Amino acid sequence: MESIGKNVVLLAGGSKKLNEPWVKKVKLVLEDFFDNVFFQRYVNWDSGKMFPDYDGELKKLEENCKQFDDYVIFAKSFGTLLTLNNIYDRVIAPEKCIFLGVPVDLARNKDGINRPAVDDWFVNYSVPSLFIQQENDSVFVYEKLEKLLKEKNVSNYELMMVPGSDHRYDNIDLRTITKNFIEK
């Protein structure tokens, strides 16, 4: 497949056990048509800790994005929160974003990621983005995301519902979906 000539920053979900095999497959797909695929590996994946250091990974994403003039972000779950937070703080400026499994309720949960400001990150959000959410995602269902995007006046986005409830996103054609969205 011909390269579309962009850089992509790839962010997975926070759990190594659940996301490492997925991210390896996605990286291979993205390498087919992006010039450079940069994968941000979370420190907890190598330290054995269950959950990532949110603030540490947030800062690392900011630093990683500085190496590119133009880039797209492809993020799943925990990675979507890092991206949305940094865009809201105006420390990164991707051309486009592709988000899978945005876990808004997990961010709101004080026993989870504990980022109650997550709803503010969506207010007037306008980076061209594709949100892909399972109809019954176990972390945040499609219907809730659809309502949130409308209530917060999000613009320049597409919202795609896919079947599922397991928050895995390994049963969809990411190659075609990604290429079609990036080439618009």
**7-182: CATH topology:** Rossmann fold (3.40.50)
Q: Is the sign of the CA dihedral 43, 112, 59, 167 positive or negative?
A: positive
- The 10s digit of each residue's pLDDT in 5-50 is 689 999 999 888 778 889 999 999 999 889 999 999 999 888 888 7
- The pTM of the full predicted model, rounded to 2 decimals, is 0.94
- The 10s digit of each residue's pLDDT in 124-176 is 999 999 999 999 999 999 999 999 999 999 999 999 999 999 999 998 999 89
Which long-range contacts does 141-145 make (Cβ < 8 Å, 24+ apart)? Answer: 144/104, 144/105, 145/102, 145/104
Domain boundaries defined on the chain = 7-182
Q: Which residues on neighbouring strands pair with residue 160, listed in sequence order?
A: 132
Q: How far apart are CA 147 and CA 101, in angstroms?
A: 15
Number of other residues whose CB lies within 10 A of the CB of residue 119: 14
Structure tokens at 138: 């176990």
What one-letter code names the amino acid at 140?
F
Q: How far apart are CA 173 and CA 165, in angstroms?
A: 17
